[in-house]
């Protein structure tokens, strides 16, 4: 799809908003014990230089030195500034058949001058969409320095950010670990972060005050010391019998469930966790499972996806695994190693000697729209197959809860077979039902040794996509830091979205792609706000049972005084009551309207106004 990018001055000439219209473990882990007189150091992100192994995680070769980072090296005062000299230095307006997108200037959430923020991920509060939480593998960047997972927080919808690169306990001491951040936020606003702990096993911590302090690490019962590549999710569907249950999935490279995906869950906000239990079936011959992801459905279904990969170098992902649970992750009604044949792009030299995998990422449409419940998975693939090059981003979907799956489609829209590279994708189905995929992209680099950051959005269930550049060019190369694997440049990126109530000017759907880049000389976590102007449908699922008025996601256009009241059962006899809106003191001829961009949804999910029932 071809799109045009316009500046604001041009846009004003072509857009007229009708306000009255509805709108690592890569090598076997070996423990070495040093002298009793010394605490030795953690080797960050994995396997020895040049080593090629299916296990892609930090190697706990030694113990960690828990010397806290200095304040100057740890924190940045906020609000933060914008990087100097980015290519995207003012909002870019992108006109497409699905509406107008505004790509704002990318910025570092919590800047620093040394060390590294990589392997980034972002999520949002399930009920307070002003709260965004990002995380990353973070290190001070000096030989022997400790590392942790970063915490980057906004409580005002992304306007400003605060945080640091080490999570800290109630007295301010650092909580160190082997990274691989896997955050989620439960129904009570508790931030739960899973990661590899210093024994090489898997565990988690939680925060009840937006990341300022964290509880002690809880190791997952039954996890081996060869755990890798975790992600977490939560059941935030109020109608679910398991509402508030949070989950973590990861790969076991040892123990009873070797080479399989396992799951653990918490029912008390991370205070304790269930014993790990297998999700994926026993791998097929000469295969292992890695690169899992997890999401919940609109009714509390638990969906897990993973790569079924060959144990033969280069460990290609050759099929997509999927599992479904309807009882809170206890049993699995679907658990298959091959719901789709794929040709993953796993390599140890995508460009400049960096490692990249085709690990799948999953999300679910949880709107009240026509595709509610659809499951989408993106991943990196190479040709032959769906991909047209050495590395493209592809998309698979299920429209029936995971029972059957579509053939793959190519997400990036550059010329097929042009030799360019798209890799390390992440996916988010936003509150308007849009399917958003972010990825690194070399299409504009003649030498193919650097990447920009692009995002594609589909408003028709992944059939067609509008692409836009959201992040500037950088040379994607290994970090070059002490104690960091020579091929490591981060293994995944993230994306989330928010729906801001009542913003008819710039639109209320916002997408937040999140990536790491070394534009400043060191890898840091970046994001950019992508706004969707209100020509897109918004499936807000506002059921009006709440007594708070005006309802979220509606815009009032009137003069005078407005009055909202709750009424008995409506004249149509629908629901347990109705909402009444009156306005007064408007001059003759003034347009008075209640405006929402929502399209028709199931009965009970929208307000209608019928002049026949007007009190005149």
Does 487 share its domain with 402?
yes
The β-bridge partners of 148 are 138
Q: Are 169 and 175 in contact (CB under 8 A)?
A: yes
Residue 36 falls inside a structural domain: no
Residue 483 falls inside a structural domain: yes
- The CATH code of the domain that includes 487 is 2.120.10.10
Does 593 share its domain with 518?
no
Between the alpha carbon of residue 371 and those of residues 13, 99, 432, the distances in Å are: 34, 19, 11
SS3 72: helix
- Tokens, residue 393: 């981003």
Domain containing residue 609: 554-613
Mapped to the 3 state alphabet, what secondary structure does 221-288 carry? CCCCCCEEEEEEEECCCCCCCCCCCEEEEEEECCHHHCCEEEEEEECCCCCCCCCCEECCCCCCCCEE
Instruction: Using DSSP bridges, classify how beta strands 260-266 and 246-252 pair: parallel, antiparallel or unpaired.
Output: antiparallel
- pLDDT given at position 581: 55
Q: How many domains does the chain have?
A: 2
- pLDDT given at position 147: 78
Does 170 share its domain with 228?
yes
**pTM: predicted TM-score of the whole model, two decimal places:** 0.80
Those residues with Cβ within 8 angstroms of residue 610's Cβ, 6 or more apart along the chain or in another chain: none
Q: Are 483 and 427 in contact (CB under 8 A)?
A: no
Does 558 share its domain with 526?
no
Q: What phi and psi, each to the nearest 5 degrees, are found at residue 273?
A: -135, 155
SS3 369: coil
Residue 165 falls inside a structural domain: yes
Distance (Å, rounded) from C-alpha 118 to C-alpha 132? Answer: 18
Does 452 share its domain with 358?
yes
Does 442 share its domain with 585?
no
Q: Are 471 and 513 in contact (CB under 8 A)?
A: yes
The single residue listed with the structure tokens 């509008």 is: 466
Our measurement of the distance from residue 414's CA atom to the centroid of its chain's CA atoms, rounded to an integer in Å, reads 24
Those residues with Cβ within 8 angstroms of residue 54's Cβ, 6 or more apart along the chain or in another chain: 26, 288, 290, 309, 311, 315
Distance (Å, rounded) from C-alpha 260 to C-alpha 445? Answer: 38
Those residues with Cβ within 8 angstroms of residue 376's Cβ, 6 or more apart along the chain or in another chain: 362, 363, 364, 365, 395, 396, 397, 427, 429, 435, 462
Distance (Å, rounded) from C-alpha 138 to C-alpha 105? Answer: 24
Mapped to the 3 state alphabet, what secondary structure does 484-516 carry? ECCCCCCCCCEEEEEECCCCCCCCCEEEEEEEE
Residue 423 falls inside a structural domain: yes
Burial class (CB in 10 A: 0-12, 13-18, 19+), 254: middle
Q: Are 134 and 43 in contact (CB under 8 A)?
A: no
SS3 494: strand
Measured in residues, the chain has a length of: 616
Does 527 share its domain with 560?
no
Distance (Å, rounded) from C-alpha 280 to C-alpha 307? Answer: 10
- pLDDT given at position 533: 77
Q: What phi and psi, each to the nearest 5 degrees, are found at residue 9?
A: -60, -40
Residue 549 falls inside a structural domain: no
Does 460 share its domain with 579?
no
- Tokens, residue 502: 């009542």
The pLDDT averaged over each successive group of 10 residues in the chain (616 residues) is 32 30 36 30 35 49 28 30 43 84 94 90 95 93 72 95 94 91 98 96 98 97 97 96 98 97 99 99 96 97 98 94 98 98 95 95 93 98 95 98 98 96 98 95 95 96 96 90 79 94 63 96 95 64 49 50 52 48 57 46 45 48
Does 488 share its domain with 599?
no
- pLDDT given at position 57: 47
- Tokens, residue 363: 């999300």
SS3 35: coil
Nearest to 539 by CA among 476, 606, 456: 606
Nearest to 300 by CA among 387, 234, 350: 234
Residue 64 falls inside a structural domain: no
Distance (Å, rounded) from C-alpha 280 to C-alpha 265? Answer: 16
Does 528 share its domain with 574?
no
Virtual CA dihedral for 253, 259, 265, 271, nearest 10 degrees? 0
Residue 52 falls inside a structural domain: no
The β-bridge partners of 116 are 139
């Amino acid at each position: 799809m071809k799109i045009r990018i316009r500046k604001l001055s041009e846009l004003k000439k072509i857009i007229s908003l009708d306000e009255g219209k509805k709108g690592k473990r890569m090598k076997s882990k070996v423990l070495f014990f040093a002298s009793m007189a010394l605490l030795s150091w953690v080797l960050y992100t994995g396997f020895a230089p040049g080593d090629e192994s299916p296990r892609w995680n930090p190697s706990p070769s030694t113990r960690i030195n828990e010397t806290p980072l200095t304040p100057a090296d740890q924190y940045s005062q906020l609000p933060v500034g914008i990087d100097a000299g980015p290519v995207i230095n003012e909002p870019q307006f992108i006109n497409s058949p699905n509406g107008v997108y505004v790509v704002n200037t990318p910025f570092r959430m919590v800047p620093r001058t040394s060390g590294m923020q990589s392997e980034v991920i972002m999520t949002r509060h399930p009920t307070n969409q002003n709260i965004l939480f990002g995380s990353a593998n973070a290190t001070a960047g000096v030989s022997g320095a400790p590392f942790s997972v970063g915490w980057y927080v906004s409580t005002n919808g992304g306007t400003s950010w605060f945080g640091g690169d080490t999570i800290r306990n109630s007295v301010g001491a650092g909580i160190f670990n082997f990274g691989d951040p896997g955050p989620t936020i439960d129904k009570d606003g508790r931030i739960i972060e899973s990661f590899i702990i210093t024994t090489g096993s898997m565990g988690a911590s939680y925060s009840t005050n937006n990341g300022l302090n964290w509880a002690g690490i809880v190791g997952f019962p039954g996890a081996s010391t060869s755990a890798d590549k975790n992600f977490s999710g939560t059941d935030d569907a109020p109608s679910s019998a398991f509402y508030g249950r949070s989950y973590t999935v990861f790969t076991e490279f040892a123990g009873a469930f070797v080479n399989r995906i396992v799951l653990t869950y918490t029912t008390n906000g991370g205070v304790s966790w269930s014993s790990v239990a297998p999700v994926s079936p026993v791998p097929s011959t000469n295969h292992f499972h890695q690169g899992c992801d997890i999401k919940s459905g609109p009714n509390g279904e638990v969906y897990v996806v993973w790569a079924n990969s060959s144990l033969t170098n280069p460990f290609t992902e050759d099929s997509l695994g999927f599992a479904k649970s309807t009882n809170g992750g206890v049993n699995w009604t679907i658990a298959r190693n091959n719901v789709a044949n794929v040709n993953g792009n796993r390599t140890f030299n995508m460009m400049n000697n960096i490692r990249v995998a085709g690990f799948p990422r999953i999300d679910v449409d949880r709107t009240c729209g026509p595709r509610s419940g659809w499951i989408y998975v993106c991943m990196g693939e190479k040709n032959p197959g769906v991909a047209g090059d050495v590395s493209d981003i592809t998309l698979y979907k299920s429209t029936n809860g995971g029972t059957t799956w579509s053939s793959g489609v190519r997400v990036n829209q550059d010329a097929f077979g042009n030799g360019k590279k798209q890799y390390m994708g992440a996916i988010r189905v936003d509150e308007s039902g849009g399917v958003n995929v972010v990825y690194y992209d070399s299409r504009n680099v003649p030498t193919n040794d650097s990447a920009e950051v692009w995002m594609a959005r589909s408003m028709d269930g992944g059939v067609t996509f509008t692409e836009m550049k959201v992040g500037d060019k950088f040379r994607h190369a290994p970090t070059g830091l002490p104690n960091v694997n020579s091929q490591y440049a981060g293994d995944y990126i993230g994306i989330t979205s928010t729906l801001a109530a009542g913003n008819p000017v710039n639109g209320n759907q916002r997408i937040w792609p999140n990536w790491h880049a070394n534009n400043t000389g060191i890898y840091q976590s970046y994001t950019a706000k992508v706004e969707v102007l209100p020509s897109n449908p918004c499936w807000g699922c506002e059921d009006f049972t709440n007594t708070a008025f005006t309802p979220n996601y509606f815009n009032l256009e009137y003069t005078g005084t407005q009055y909202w009241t709750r009424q008995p059962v409506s004249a149509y006899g629908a629901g347990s009551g109705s909402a009444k809106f009156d306005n007064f003191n408007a001059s003759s001829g003034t347009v008075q309207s209640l405006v929402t961009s929502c399209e028709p949804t199931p009965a009970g999910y929208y307000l209608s106004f019928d002049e026949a029932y007007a009190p005149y």
